[in-house]
Amino acid sequence: MKEEALPNKTGFLAKLQEKWELNSIYQVFIVLLVFSLTGSTVVMVRKIFFEWIGFDETTSMWLKTVTYIAFVMPAYQILLLVYGFLFGQFSFFWNKEKKMVSRMKKVFVRK
């Protein structure tokens, strides 16, 4: 059953529905839930990963930042797809991932 967007297209959720080209407000809630779960999980993964490799409060911020970008950010992308799959929104997140990779490729590959 396909739910229609709210008649008044000024609401925050309705704007997200339109921007993300989703079928319903329910789908917007699911996508927001996936983002929330992924963010919460990556915070836990980062803490565990940093402890595992021996980082503590004395580790320099630049080393933590480089490590975060190199290892934790890819974990976020993978978790996003996993949660997207579990909540039936894999195609939405897969399309977002492809767009992001395409944009990153433009930054690093000059023609």
Please state the three-class secondary structure of the chain as a single string: CCCCCCCCCCCHHHHHHHHHCCCCHHHHHHHHHHHHHHHHHHHHHHHHHHHHCCCCCCCCHHHHHHHHHHHHHHHHHHHHHHHHHHCCCHHHHHHHHHHHHHHHHHHHCCC
User: What's the whole-model pTM score?
Assistant: 0.78
Please, what is the average pLDDT of the chain? 89
**pLDDT tens, 33-56?**
999 999 999 999 999 999 999 999
pLDDT at 10 over 80: no
pLDDT at 7 over 90: no
